């Protein structure tokens, strides 16, 4: 494992983004954002942070003015698959895909504080612990680092994990066909669920675990409930978020199988942006708005969708 500091070029800018006109009533504003937008995160002050894969950069955007406040160009071939905010809002953790690295940026200046390189392991996600103790890095294995990224504390013996989610006390790891739970004091396994295939994104809503696959949404608690969905093609691990403790927001492509959620047993209410080809989504609780990135070159602000009603 290599711990290195990555060179980066920080550019001060107040570059305005081009506004894209739209008649869609769901949209508050849409901007053109060239550069293959990927991961997204919202700062405590409402600043939007977006990872651009071409060229490899992180931009800080003022949502009120639609201007790029700061741009940091990373000096390596990075995909910026996910961007996760630390519990205290002081750091961004960027998973860099085939670059086999994680970049830790200090906020608000976007200074590169640390880079973790795990040779031979494409990094799908880098998830900070909600209590600020750990950083969970998803490569060929799950690597558990201290929150600063200075030291690898342990490695979980699971092959090819596909998604991960964490609470203050538990960690959920998805592999090809199995969900495994760990407690986060000694990282002992506490349970598993078999037969869950193709999971691309995961997050906890309290004690309820939500899993999103290409065509299925699972709710895992005392029992497992599933419903058909249609994730956008090529979407990333940040395709879903919570707008409230029991309201799940995610984007869906148009398809015939998606619709109202039929089960009355749901503990969490799903609500989708239907027909939106998003890569990642992020919710801003202060404005009650949903932000999405699209790899076609858009950053869009949406009104929070309402849950579909079963007839």
Kindly report, residue by residue over 212-268, the tens digit of the pLDDT: 999 999 999 989 999 999 999 999 999 999 999 999 999 999 987 665 566 667 889
Q: How confident is the model at residue 75 (pLDDT cuts 50, 70, 90)?
A: low
Q: Classify burial at 227, counting beta carbons within 10 Å of its beta carbon; exposed 0-12, middle 13-18, buried 19 or more.
A: middle
Q: Which two tokens stand for residue 267?
A: 């503990």
Q: Is residue 94 part of a domain?
A: yes
Q: Is residue 58 part of a domain?
A: yes
pLDDT at residue 311 is higher than 50 = no
Q: How confident is the model at residue 76 (pLDDT cuts 50, 70, 90)?
A: low
Q: Give the range of the structural domain holding residue 53, as residue numbers without chain letter.
A: 2-12+26-303
| Per-residue pLDDT at 229 | 94
Q: Is residue 20 part of a domain?
A: no
Q: How confident is the model at residue 4 (pLDDT cuts 50, 70, 90)?
A: very low
Q: Which two tokens stand for residue 46?
A: 């409402």
**C-alpha–C-alpha distance, residues 3 and 219, integer Å:** 37
Instruction: Tell me the pairing of strands 134-138 and 125-128.
Output: antiparallel
Structural domains of the chain, count: 1
**C-alpha–C-alpha distance, residues 206 and 167, integer Å:** 8
| Per-residue pLDDT at 5 | 45
Mean pLDDT of 86-102: 94
CA 243 to chain centre: 14
| Per-residue pLDDT at 264 | 67
On whether the CB atoms of residues 296 and 31 are closer than 8 A, the answer is no
Q: At 254, which CATH number?
A: 2.130.10.10
pLDDT at residue 100 is higher than 70 = yes
Instruction: Tell me the pairing of strands 247-252 and 269-274.
Output: parallel
On whether the CB atoms of residues 32 and 16 are closer than 8 A, the answer is no
Q: Is residue 309 part of a domain?
A: no
Q: Is residue 246 part of a domain?
A: yes
| Per-residue pLDDT at 209 | 97
**3 state SS of 68:** strand
| Per-residue pLDDT at 26 | 94
Among 97-101, 122-126, 240-244, whose mean pLDDT is lowest?
A: 97-101
Q: Which two tokens stand for residue 238?
A: 């940040």
Q: Is residue 311 part of a domain?
A: no
Q: Which residue has the higher pLDDT, 155 or 10?
A: 155
On whether the CB atoms of residues 232 and 261 are closer than 8 A, the answer is no
**C-alpha–C-alpha distance, residues 281 and 299, integer Å:** 10
pTM of the predicted model, to two decimals?
A: 0.92
**C-alpha–C-alpha distance, residues 135 and 238, integer Å:** 17
Mean pLDDT of 10-16: 68
pLDDT tens for 140-150 read 999 999 999 99
Q: Is residue 263 part of a domain?
A: yes
Q: Is residue 195 part of a domain?
A: yes
Mean pLDDT of the chain: 91
What are residue 241's DSSP bridge partners?
Answer: 249
On whether the CB atoms of residues 48 and 107 are closer than 8 A, the answer is no
């Amino acid at each position: 494992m290599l711990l290195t500091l990555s060179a980066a070029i920080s550019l001060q800018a107040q570059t305005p983004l081009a506004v894209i006109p739209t008649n869609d009533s769901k949209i508050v504003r849409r901007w053109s954002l060239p550069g293959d937008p990927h991961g997204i995160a919202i700062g405590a002050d409402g600043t939007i942070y977006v990872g651009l894969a071409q060229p490899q950069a992180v931009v800080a955007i003022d949502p009120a003015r639609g201007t790029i406040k700061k741009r940091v160009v990373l000096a390596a071939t990075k995909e910026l698959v996910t961007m996760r905010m630390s519990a205290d809002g002081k750091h961004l953790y960027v998973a860099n895909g085939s670059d086999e690295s994680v970049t830790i940026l200090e906020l608000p200046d976007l200074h590169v504080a640390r880079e973790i390189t795990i040779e031979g392991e494409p990094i799908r996600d880098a998830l900070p612990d909600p209590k600020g103790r750990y950083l969970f890095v998803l490569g060929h294995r799950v690597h558990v680092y201290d929150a600063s990224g200075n030291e690898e504390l342990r490695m979980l013996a699971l092959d090819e994990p596909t998604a991960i989610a964490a609470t203050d006390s538990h960690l959920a790891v998805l592999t090809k066909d199995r969900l495994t739970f760990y407690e986060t004091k000694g990282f002992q396994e506490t349970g598993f669920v078999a037969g869950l295939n193709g999971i691309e994104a995961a997050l906890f809503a309290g004690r309820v675990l939500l899993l999103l696959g290409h065509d299925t949404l699972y709710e895992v608690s005392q029992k497992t409930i599933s419903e058909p969905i249609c994730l956008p093609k090529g979407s990333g691990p940040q395709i879903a978020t919570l707008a409230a403790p029991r309201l799940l927001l995610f984007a869906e492509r148009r398809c015939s199988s998606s619709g109202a959620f039929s089960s009355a047993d749901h503990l969490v209410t799903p609500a989708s942006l239907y027909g939106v080809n998003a890569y990642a989504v992020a919710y801003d609780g202060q404005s009650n708005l949903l932000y999405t990135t699209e790899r076609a070159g858009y950053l869009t602000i949406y009104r929070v969708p309402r849950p579909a009603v079963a007839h």
